[in-house]
Amino acid sequence: MVISCEKAANICDKAQYKEASSWEKIKLKFHLLMCKTCAKHSVKNKKLTSLCNQARLAVLSEEDKRKMKDTCAKAK
C-alpha cells in the first residue's frame, strides 16, 4: 500500500482530472497522511487547477497551432 512520492504526484495529477481510480485515491490519501511534502504539493496542485479553470484556458485548435508555428518560422 505504500507508494513513492513520484507515484503519489502522478496520482494527484490524475485525481485533479477525474482520471484516478478509487484505489489510487485511497493510496494517495494514505500517502498524504504520511508525507507532508506531498500534501503541500497536492494543495498547490488543486489551487493551480482552480486558477486555470477560472481563467478558462482553452486548448488550441490544430489551425491555431499551425498559425503559431508559421509565425515562429517566419520570425527566424
Q: How far apart are CA 5 and CA 11, in angstroms?
A: 10
- What are 1's three cell numbers? 500500500
Q: How many helices (H) and strands (E) does the chain have?
A: 4, 0
Which pLDDT score is estimated for 9? Answer: 94
Give the pLDDT band of residue 62 (cuts 50, 70, 90). confident
Q: How far apart are CA 26 and CA 33, in angstroms?
A: 11
Number of domains in the chain: 1
Q: How far apart are CA 19 and CA 4, in angstroms?
A: 19
Contact 28, 5 (CB under 8 A): no
Instruction: Identify the domain containing residue 69 by its residue range.
Output: 5-75
For the residues 28-32, what does the mean pLDDT come to? 96
